[in-house]
Amino acid sequence: MKINLPVTTNELIVDPVNPIVTKTDVKGSITYVNRAFVEISGFSEQELLGKNHNIVRHPDMPPEAFADLWETIKTGKPWNGIVKNRAKNGDFYWVEAYVTPITEHGRIVGYMSVRSQPKRSDVEAASALYRQVQAKQAKVPSTLQRYAKQGDVLKRAPVLALLSSAVAIGSFFLPDSQRLLREGLGMSASLLALAAGAWGWIRVRSMLTMLDQHFQDLQEGRLDHAMQVKEGGLLGRVLSSLEALRIHYRATIADVMRASLYTKEQAHGLLDDMHALAARSVQQRQGLGQISHNMESLSLAVQDVVRLAEHNQQDSLHTQQVAREGRQTMDAATGAAERAVNVVSQSRNSMVELDEAMVRIRSMTTLIHEIADQTNLLALNAAIEAARAGEMGRGFAVVADEVRKLAERTTNTTDSIGEIVEEIGKITHSAVSSMDATVEEVGEVNGQIRLSSGNLQGLIEAAEQSSQQARQLAREMGSKSDSINVMATALEQLNALSEQDMHTTHSIGESAGHLAETSVDLAQLTDNFSKWQKR
């Protein structure tokens, strides 16, 4: 026997209004479970379907009880008993189980078990019996033997009638000497026939009254009244079938009522969700409209950026052209400045050479001046000597005087030449200084020109990079513009779908409203049964 562990001492109570219903195939594998069974067992529907029904068997249940159950239902008869079941977490719950075969064309194809909340007295009695059975101190009563002990009034009444007829016929063959005995037997046969008829009528009338009462209960929806079947035979089978019908009817109505309530709750919840969804759909549509408007604005802005990028690219190209022309001009100016520096440098060198020549001339004039002074001194000496010579030195005196005059003119000339040379020296020094300043200034200008040329080269490179970036930006923004247009189209389609969703949501809301109304109608139809269920 399958032993399910662990177990706890916590008892779960079956809902008296919602019976537990399961169906199995002929081997005991579960094919259907209702919500009440799922909730109390703790197993999910997926964990139960396809599993053997002994998945909820409690270790306290003796195997003999289930053997009696299977022995009974395999013969096509219903089985009724108190059963202790185990939940998934080990808790337990007691049920009053009513198991009947499911037949198709007279063949058993499965079994249906309807389990309700038992009476506590029945639970205590069953618990005590099962402990005794586990201890081998008692046995589980056989349900089939109980069925066999039930009498059949439709069979007993004819037997009694035949017996009374036999007594009457036997008394007819008695001799006249036994007239009193014959009359007594005839009277006994009549009384026996009358008693048999009365007994049969009373039994049949009692069962018919029971049938009438239960049919009345079914008509009024009183499904909580159990029928005690104590009769066998045809009438017993009719009563058992009616009791099975009541139990199945009660379980079905309970499931319908629960499903109706669940459907009503779900319908109202769905209706609320539909209203909320409709409100969100309106907000979503408004949001999509705003997004679509923003996308249009963004598309226009992107187009403006593309145009600006194209203009920037043209400006950058123009800047490059101007910068290249400026650099060419700067390069030409640099060349001219370098040539001017070379010319000035050459002129300075010439001036330096001229100054050096002036220095040599000054030296020569100094020498000439010294010679003239010496000549003048010699002439003076000659004149003195000529005067001493008298008449003989007169001619020499004249020559000496001329020499002196020539020396004086030479001195004067050398002085003039010295002054001119000095003036030329000053001019030369001034020219050299000016040329040095010019060379230095031209060098600085040339340096500035080179710096400006370098800056122009940087400007050309920056303008070229700016042009490339502007061109790339124009391409990317053009691509983004296409993407934005695609997104705008998608948003328009999404907006259309949102509007369709609003209509669909409205339709679903109407369907949910109809479903809620249907659940209310169903609840009203089962209201007659529910008031007896709650009592």
Query: What is the mean pLDDT of the segment spanning 230-250?
Result: 61
Kindly state the average pLDDT of the residues 86-112: 93
pLDDT band of 332, cuts 50, 70, 90: confident
What is the pLDDT at residue 436? 74
Q: Provide CB contacts within 8 A for 61, sequence distance 6+.
A: 83, 84, 130
Sheet holding 20-24, edge to edge: 30-33, 20-24, 107-116, 92-104, 79-86
* Interacting residues of 73 by C-beta distance below 8 A, sequence separation 6+: 79, 99, 100, 101, 111
Query: Three-state DSSP class for 113?
Result: strand
Residues linked to residue 93 through DSSP beta bridges, in sequence order: 85
Answer for the pair 15, 261: CB distance below 8 angstroms, yes or no.
no
Q: What tokens does 136 get? A: 């081998």
Please report the pLDDT score of residue 428 as a whole number.
Answer: 74
| pLDDT average, residue stretch 80-89 | 96
Instruction: State the Cα–Cα distance between residues 29 and 245, nearest whole angstrom.
Output: 23
Highest mean pLDDT among 37-51, 174-188, 357-371, 398-412: 37-51
pLDDT at 44: 95
> Is 296 or 80 the better-scoring residue by pLDDT?
80
Rg (CA), the chain: 70
Which distant-in-sequence residues (6+ apart) come within 8 Å of 314 by Cβ?
none
**The pLDDT of residue 535 is above 50:** no
- Find the mean pLDDT for residues 362-376: 78
pLDDT of 534: 46
The predicted model gives 451-463 an average pLDDT of 68
Secondary structure of residue 100 in the 3-state scheme: strand
Which of 172-176, 216-220, 463-467 comes out lowest in average pLDDT? 172-176
Tell me the pLDDT tens digit for each residue of 125-148: 999 999 999 999 999 999 888 877
Residue 375 to residues 108, 388, 404, 406, Cα–Cα distance (Å): 175, 20, 7, 9
Average pLDDT over residues 187-197: 54
Mean pLDDT, the chain, integer: 73
- Bridge partner residues of 79 (DSSP): 99
Which one of 67-71, 141-145, 347-351, 414-418 scores highest in mean pLDDT?
A: 67-71
Are 410 and 379 within 8 A, CB to CB?
no
The mean-pLDDT minimum among 43-52, 234-243, 263-272, 441-450 falls in 234-243
* C-beta atoms surrounding 422 within 10 Å: 13
The whole-number pLDDT of residue 236 equals 58
Cis ω on the peptide bond leading into residue 19 (within 30° of 0)?
A: no
| Local confidence band at 168 (pLDDT 50, 70, 90 cut-offs) | very low
Model confidence band, residue 90 (pLDDT cutoffs 50, 70, 90): very high
Q: Is the predicted pLDDT of residue 7 greater than 80, yes or no?
A: yes
- Bigger pLDDT: 423 or 6? 6
What is d(CA 363, CA 159) in angstroms, rounded to the nearest whole number?
Answer: 189
**Pseudo-torsion of CA 88, 89, 93, 97, nearest 10°?**
10
Give mean pLDDT, residues 75-101: 94
User: What's the CA gap between 197 and 206, in Å, rounded?
Assistant: 14
Output the pLDDT for position 519.
61
- Give the CA-trace dihedral at 69, 72, 75, 78, to 10 degrees: -90
Residue 32's SS3 state is strand
pLDDT, one tens digit per residue, over 271-326 is 677 677 667 667 766 766 676 676 677 667 667 766 766 776 676 677 667 667 76
pLDDT above 90 (res 164)? no
**Tokens in use for 333?**
């100016």
Q: Which of 109-123, 224-238, 364-378 has the lowest mean pLDDT?
A: 224-238
**Size of the chain, expressed as the number of residues it contains:** 535
DSSP-assigned letters across all residues of 390-433 = GGGGHHHHHHHHHHHHHHHHHHHHHHHHHHHHHHHHHHHHHHHH
Residue 326: predicted pLDDT: 67
C-alpha distance from residue 380 to each of 384, 386, 402, 415 (Å): 6, 10, 11, 20
Q: What is the pLDDT of residues 493-532, one digit of tens each?
A: 666 666 676 666 666 666 666 666 666 655 554 554 454 4
